[in-house]
A and B are shown apart, each in its own frame.
Chain A
């Protein structure tokens, strides 16, 4: 380490650090802007990773296959008797009916997801498998009982009350009583959900008896899901067959698309920053030209000056990168991505209040590094070279 080569590097690095300290005001502006860009990039990436990870976890409870009837490219109700045909497919262990729809609460400006299912009996009736925060699931023989999220309770202004009403399509009122509340840990899926019996949902949406919106199919062997999905496609005409894997891919695409959109905006910001960095680095002041001229007379080679400028840029870039990444981590892990949450989760009035668990991936970090630090170093390379070729006789 003590060879002249490393000694030279250390000496020039030391001089670069003192040069950065001397020009603190100018360098602080670059540092703050660069840190901000990295912070936004890293926050997007950590949140997207966290959301995909969360989707993977919550989809464990989702059915293996969802079957929907399509007409003219749109989803319509499916005849519940198709259940019998599906049960007959080899490898299918269970088929359940579901009514899934959306209810717009005009007075609150909120959109609720109404899910009607065949309510379980026996051990599953308590709802522990759903992670209820309090209460229970409605019993199969009960009517007008529902489970809602804490957010919906707040939106409806229930307080300690348990009863509320929703409008049917004919504007008559359907009354409901809450018997349970979803746990906040599954908020990403349940924040806007009202869970009720199949009959109550049919009544609320005025769906013709004998029809549901989806049929949920469980396969005995997870490896046979795709095969069974293919058989369902062959068996029922005009249906859409969605596997759990496909839903996960959709989530990934949706989050990725939102993140990508943000990424494009940020890329623009990065280009603007690179132009700014170029401008700052290329606009050599008279004092800077004089300094380089003196160093050249004193025996500093062109590559010594380039190295000096490179160290200055690299120190700023690396410091900004690690600060930005650390701040992004704190933003996502500690503050649930407050600033970017509306962009990534803005599909509902009732936004889930779940906790992000950022996923660290070295490859992701490397990606941000390569699209931020490298362009910055490139943007400052040419100005550095221009500074370095200041002639020694400029100070004579």
Chain B
């Protein structure tokens, strides 16, 4: 299994009066090349679960293994390294730097790797063409439409060629047709052997033919797992 979570808990502000148990006793496995959709109401723990899988933070307790590496209780330095090597993260609100061009935004993950500007642009060009926004390469991110921003965000998530794509509500700000296009684009990554874990309220996402499994969350617990097809 590419991703294995065993009895994972995530508690915010542990021991404080405002303690929140965001995840409780999560057991989840995701195979390589699988596309998993997390569903659940707001506050059910979808984003927290994606953040644990995305190596953004460690679980409070339990055992989490991503790509064969145990990430539970890892120092920040190693989490960052694993995130860089294993994970492409797509945000609900795109999280592009508005003052940078699309090209600069997309190549940000490559800067600490010491990749030369020429090679960075070449890598970005290939992705931008594939995602059909090559003509917006030199546009400032603030000038892009929602659909273009999400395509750019996908390009940024893919630039390191990570085996796992984590997408948090990737279609939340897009209309039906655009949302479908984005899900199609994400689903295409399966063909390259990538594993996708995404969260969405949108039934069109969970009902997408390429989605292998829908995992429902409620109050920080997995309430059901349904394999598609």
Contacts and interface: CB of A to CB of B under 8 A. Distances in A.
Contacts, number: 81
A221 interface: no
A18 B95 CA distance: 19
B51 A6 contact: no
Interface of A: 2-12, 14-15, 18, 22, 290-291, 294-302, 304, 391-393, 395-396
Contacts of B95: 290, 294, 297, 395
A4 B57 contact: no
Contact of A300 (B80, B91, B115, B117): B80
A327 B110 CA distance: 40
B80 A8 contact: no
Q: Which are the 3 A-B pairs with shortest beta-carbon distances?
A: A7-B114, A299-B84, A4-B114
A291 B141 CA distance: 13
B132 interface: no
B76 interface: yes
Contacts of A295: 108
Contacts of B57: 391-393
Contact of B156 (A290, A298, A300): A298
A304 B97 contact: no
A299 B88 CA distance: 10
Interface string B143-179: 0000000000000100010000000100000000000
A6 B114 contact: yes
| Residue with the highest number of chain A CB atoms closer than 10 Å, among B79, B91, B111, B115 | B111
B135 interface: no
A301 B77 contact: yes
A296 B112 contact: no
Contacts of A395: 91, 95
A301 B168 contact: no
Contacts of A15: 111
Name B's interface SS. helix
A18 B100 CA distance: 9
B80 A22 contact: no
Nearest to B47: A396
A260 B79 CA distance: 53
7 contacts: A8-B113, A15-B111, A304-B111, A392-B56, A392-B57, A395-B95, A396-B56
Given A296-B80, A395-B95, A396-B168, 17 more contacts: A2-B116, A4-B115, A6-B114, A11-B111, A11-B112, A294-B97, A298-B156, A299-B84, A300-B112, A302-B76, A302-B77, A302-B80, A392-B56, A392-B57, A392-B79, A393-B51, A396-B47
B134 interface: no
A300 B113 CA distance: 9
A335 B226 CA distance: 83
B37 to A, nearest CB: 19
B159 to A, nearest CB: 9
Contacts of B116: 2, 7
A162 to B, nearest CB: 74
Nearest to B157: A298
A22 B89 CA distance: 26
Nearest to B77: A301
A338 to B, nearest CB: 42
Nearest to A295: B108
Contacts of B113: 4, 7-8
B138 interface: no
A298 B109 contact: yes
B114 A14 contact: no
A7 B116 CA distance: 6
A47 B57 CA distance: 58
B140 to A, nearest CB: 11
A382 B115 CA distance: 29
Given A393-B56, A396-B168, A12 B83 contact: no
Given A297-B56, A299-B109, A392 B83 contact: yes
